[in-house]
Amino acid sequence: MTLTAEAAAFAAQAHDGMLRKGTNVPYIIHPMEAASIAATLTDDEEILAAALLHDVVEDCGVTLQELRERFGIRVAQLVLSETQLSEGDPHKTWLARKREAIERIAQGDRAVRIVALSDKLSNMRAIRRDYDHDGDRMFFRFHQHDKRRHAWYYRSCAALLKEEFGQTNAWNELSEHVEYVFSGILPLLPEEEDTGV
């Protein structure tokens, strides 16, 4: 079994029974889609495996040690780069977690950024579909209900990824979805970035 196939099977088992927030869509569709996006940018199986596994630590209780033993140190590190771990109320830790995610993209290598781009594009595809159906109400399914803060987060991610991937179909699609969903949303002021949840 290839590394990618093993990662797909592991992710499917880990996410079994889970649904995307506010939908009846099986959760496994998201990491599968992220991996398919990553495959347009690389044929590195460790990166593709990380795209498939990127939520298993955050959402499924899988340990990094388990990933290291089963898939190797690099795959585990790539998963960690896309993992937003929080202690306490996730509503109150949203801003800190997103800042850390942005910093990991800023400091990451190409592999880290491929996994991040793949995850963000898959998320924005889902957000746009749900936004077209439900409008701004769809943001209430998330821990963070403020659309402006989601705009800040996805715009920040897209900006960091543009230099390396701005000529790719994946980045262009991400940018298009971000601008569509968050059209007319003004950037947060510096003091707003430091307040609220």
Of the listed 6, 45, 59, 164, which one is catalytic? 59
Give yes or no: 58 in active site: yes
Of the listed 6, 45, 58, 146, which one is catalytic? 58
Q: Residue 185 gets which letter from DSSP?
A: P
CA dist 29 and 73 (Å) reads 25
- Residue 149, token pair as written in the block: 């803060």
Give yes or no: 179 in active site: no
Catalytic center residues: 58-59
